[in-house]
Structure 1
Amino acid sequence: MNIDFYKKLKLLFAHMRKIKLFFFILLLFATTLVFSQNSVGDKISWNAYTQIRGTTNFNNYHNFSLRRLKFWAKSTPEFSKHWSYKVQVIFMSGQNEVFFLQDIYGQYRWKNSSVRFGQFLPQFSLQRHQPDYLVPSMERARAVSFLIPGASLGGRDIGIQYNLTALNGSLKFNVGVFNGYGIKEYRFDNSGYMVSQNLSYEFNIKQSKIKFGYSVIYRDAQNTKFPLIISDSITYSGSDFRYSIYGIFTSKIIDFQAEYLSAKLEDGNADGYYGLLTIKPNDKNHIYLVYDAYKSDNSMINDNPWYLGGYNYFFKSYKIMLTLETGFQKSGNVYENRTILQLQLFFH
């Protein structure tokens, strides 16, 4: 009897999550309609999109999921000459179907400089700062996802960052100071810290662009877990040094980017790199190939590289896009497959 009761209770909570998701989507449309007809709407920009996917290995795994439902609001240039802000939340099947606050920050701009403060993504890595909906492949490379400062800590951090743009926008410099323990918890007695620095330079060659740069961070970690680098049974305290070297070439026909990332702890190391080639026959059809390599001192993570290939069809630019991707990774003596079909849809 008790077992049946708990089963019914579990089904009820699952149903409530679906109802909550429905009303959240309804709220997106309602707020967009209200503010578009109000003078306040001139000072606020609303955006939302979702990625719905099906995944299979053609053997023993088949799954449908909501990869992400993301909603953000930010100020427009009409809001203020110097001040701006952004708030962003996300809903994911992989995060127990709960809403998660990602960004909430303010920014002050003057001349070619700005200062950002609050909860946001420290400027580290090339691909991590490319929006999800513009990355050609289904996921960012493992080296990026695993080695950004907040990889297993909620992605973002709380701090302050200075940004400089020079040489007519070609040179970008960023330096920041952060808590260093992510956003999954808040510590009232934190004694650690993290500093980050990024530098990039971009230039044109006829109708093509080349950009290259680097990112570094140093963290004095205190009682922090890094399961994507060392064993998840270790709570680590000590120095944490990471860096990224990257480059990207973009043109009308092909794009190519590559990046190498490394993390060095006192108890272990990890590094990885990727290469992403995108071929663009026309505006509607893009084909991409990815080589994704990653190695760490956590023996539970498969160190063999992924070989990926995919196809993007743009119904309406990136706002309505269908993607098919398949890839292989060696596990033991066999190569395992992962194939994903995903629909990306913008609400506003």
Structure 2
Amino acid sequence: MPSPHGIHAIDTLFQKPAFCTAYLVVENGRGAFVDTGTRHSLPQHLAALEAAGLAPEDVDWVVLTHVHLDHAGGAGALMAVLPNARLVVHPRGARHMVDPSRLVAGATAVYGEEEIARSYGEVVPVPAERIVEAPDGHVVDLAGRALHCFDTPGHARHHLSVWDPASRSVFAGDAFGLSYREFDRADGTPWIVPTTSPVQFEPGPMIASIRRILGHRPGAIHLGHYGAVTDGERLGDLLVVQVERMAALAREAMQRPEAERAAWLQGALEDFYFEQLRAHDPAADRGAMRAQLAGDIVLNAQGLLIWAARAAEEGRT
């Protein structure tokens, strides 16, 4: 359902319902998508347009928070059916939209060819002339509504977030963690956890980005996983604590034999997340948490170990 500010949340149906969100922002009969999901998400985007009373030619912009395939893999396919739209992306991510081969190869190295085909489908290039690079401070004009892009590295160096003064909200992609609705308390209070997936996680920039998002004093933060949260200050404080602890666990893992590091860190992360989740909701079930976060635990451990190894080589740990 749209908000009073013309913001429509789109369940991209990546992997399962209520897991990954994109958004449609409508202003004066014109539209902008924020993130695209995968190629498989194209029907959901077209349905969102129809529900909002718009046609594909009414879309002026497709804004990507970052180019990871669960959020941007469908950009080329979506742009192909939006004749008037331009694609807005961080300067570090623009080349991957023109030629997504390295992006696909990197994801394939993590997930494998079968999973890429099943979950993402073909990743279609975007013509270079339709791409607008958005450095820090870039403003997208949506029919007179200003959408302010700002750098939010930490999850990825090519990550931007979007401040929308009209709704006093931020579209944060993965820069402000993951808040799956399964972990909401009975009263609707959400929980959150950082995402440190490979290969560009950096704790210092991630914490700085969290604080920069909160610096706008947003009434809502629209997440890539999943939907909007409104108590940003509490969740931001929780994220900072978690990032610091996760980095410490990664450094501890590096003191163990290399063959043991991944398994040890995955177990330590599961213990830590359950401790945090029980503090949020004493009725939380460990098995249910494990079922929801199993993939994130594996990916977060991978990203943490890549960061810790790189930091150790550079003499920062």
Same fold per superposition (TM over 0.5):
no
Higher helix share: 2
State TM-score, norm by structure 1. 0.26
Higher strand share: 1
